[in-house]
Structure 1
Amino acid sequence: MENIQKVKGFSTFDLKIIGIVLMVVDHVHEMFAPVGAPTWLDWFGRPVATIFFFTSVIGFTYTHDKKKYMSRLFIFMVLMSLMTSALEDVVGYEQVVLFNNIFRDLFIGTMFMAGIDQFQAMKQGHKLQHFLLGLLWVILPFVLTVITLAVMNNQAAPLLLKQIIVAVFPAILLAENNFMVLLIPLLYLFRNNRLIQCLLIALTALAYGVMGSNQWIMIFAIIPIYFYNGQKGPGMKYFFYIFYPAHIALLYVLAAWLH
């Protein structure tokens, strides 16, 4: 008789499914608020970014090709930005502004993680080269934020230039969750210590609570993250990449039609 060991807890796939379910509820509120969707639906979405930040740390840590991983996120970041712009122009549902682009947040996170990898590689030699590359990865999202502010506040800047910046710049200013993306490199630094990761999430939630933001509800992401069992689970690599823009477009068009 075979001994089958059951691994308790949540796999990476399970965490993504939990995030997707909560995300859909949150986006139902976002799209249908003008037609009466209750405010409390928004609460379900507060832990979502934290869950996906955590899974991106796992993905970046164990991927066989980090350059390909980053390239894929960048491509989908640009495609998502182009899609939301096209939807707003074609549908014209002015009551909802489509700022949704989690791919930008995750790509910025990979930039920070790539920088950390370069700093840690200094122990192996070529210290100056690794230091400069690491510094470049880390400061680039901030530099692009400064450039974005300068261009967006310049009334003489061509509209096309502004649209290009919004589409292709991995600037923190343009991130859906703004400076909360800084949680990603912190989670990556302590990727081998789950308790510290959960503490960092709790401290971030506390900061939002002090500021009076309901983003403090992100603290509930600690529950599935704490019980992560280190297993990958089913594949479906591109499921989220397709589902995310598809459900945004569907909900947006449906809400516009109802409105």
Structure 2
Amino acid sequence: MTSFALKVMACVFMTIDHVGEFIPGMPIELRWIGRLAGPIFIFLVGWSCEFTHDRKRYLLRLYVASVAMSAIQGGLLISNNVFTNLFQTALIISLLSAPTVHRKTRNIALYIAYQVGLMVVLSVIDSIWSIPESFAYPLLAATGSIFNLEGGLFYVLLGVILWMTREHKIILSASYIGMVAAYALAYSSIGARFIQLVTGRLMGMSGGPSHLSFIFNGLLELFGIDPFSAGGGLLANYQWMMVFALPFMLLYDRRRGPGIKWFFYAYYPAHIVALYGIGALMGGTTLALG
């Protein structure tokens, strides 16, 4: 299966998902189907990094797309912006593609230092001026922050692992299933008890809510895990259904197919705005633009 065919299938899954998200009264099963879209897009980013003739231009396209989509996010006040995930995944892959272990380590260290420094700066700015949510989305996307990722860092790490194991289908499959299982475990009753235990211990260390417990819960959210939703059951927390995207990845034959890449860059924001507007007309959402 070519990358073009996989992207078309991912777009179909994604559209079904967003119909369930934005159109009122739709069955929850549409959101289940939508779990297959993100992993396929993330999987293809790794191969695009390998096959592109100019990786810097590829990164620039993803960055510009993420910033442009963040403006729509700010207007509609929605969380949807897959381009931020794709950009961060491609960026980390590029940093890890350095020829020596020393340079790889240096690149990742600088990346982490930048993200931590950026978090501190933005936190200080927000404490002084209280950044409005509509402006926060473009600001985070423009600065390349990891705090504006749809689904959290989990998807980025998933994409990096899929790239690292791309040449070995068995290892790729085992890694993918393991990652999804770990995600599902975090939302299970076992995961909920673990989160409560750690949070309780951290709060007990200071006799009440502390910076440590706040940081712990913040890290969980950064990785795409809502600590307050853990333990809700596998049907309520259905992200684990992304495991069914694996067969489609294994069918990839490293062929490109028709070269109409700009269609996918345009389709994502266009279909979200259209479905959001339809949902608003049907009374399901409140239109924030205009």
- Alpha-carbon shift at residue 51 of structure 1 (Å): 0.5
Paired amino acid for 1:217: M
- Alpha-carbon shift at residue 156 of structure 1 (Å): 3.6
Q: CA RMSD in A?
A: 2.2
2:69 match: 80
1:115-130 alignment to 2 at 5 Å? 115-118=95-98, 121-122=99-100
CA contact (8 A) 2:180 2:243 kept: yes
- Give every structure 1 segment of 4 or more consecutive aligned residues whose post-TM-superposition deviation is greater than 6 Å: none
Q: Distance in 2 between matches of 1:50 and 1:239?
A: 19
User: After superposition, what is the alpha-carbon deviation per residue over 1:172-218, rounded to whole angstroms, capped at 9, x for unaligned?
Assistant: 22100202111122122222222222222111211122224311101
CA contact (8 A) 2:137 2:148 kept: no
Matched residue SS, 2:167:
coil
- Alpha-carbon shift at residue 11 of structure 1 (Å): 1.0
The number of residues matched between the two structures is 232
Deviates more, 1:216-225 or 1:157-166: 157-166
1:64-75 alignment to 2 at 5 Å? 64-75=53-64
1:201 match: 176
1:176 partnered with 2:150: yes
User: After superposition, what is the alpha-carbon deviation per residue over 1:34-91, rounded to whole angstroms, capped at 9, x for unaligned?
Assistant: x2111121101112111001010111111010100000100010000112323x2xxx
Q: Distance in 2 between matches of 1:47 and 1:206?
A: 15
1:65–1:29: structure 2 CA closer, same or farther, 3 Å change rule?
same
Relative to the length of structure 1, the TM-score reads 0.81
- Alpha-carbon shift at residue 258 of structure 1 (Å): 1.2
What percentage of residue pairs aligned between the two structures are identical?
Answer: 29
1:49 partnered with 2:38: yes
Relative to the length of structure 2, the TM-score reads 0.73
1:195–1:141: structure 2 CA closer, same or farther, 3 Å change rule?
farther
2:109 match: 135
Matched residue SS, 2:255:
coil
Unaligned runs of 5+ in 2: 189-236, 284-290
2:253 match: 229
1:94 match: none
CA contact (8 A) 1:144 1:170 kept: no
1:13 partnered with 2:37: no
1:80-119 alignment to 2 at 5 Å? 80-86=69-75, 88=76, 97-118=77-98
Unaligned runs of 5+ in 1: 1-9, 89-96
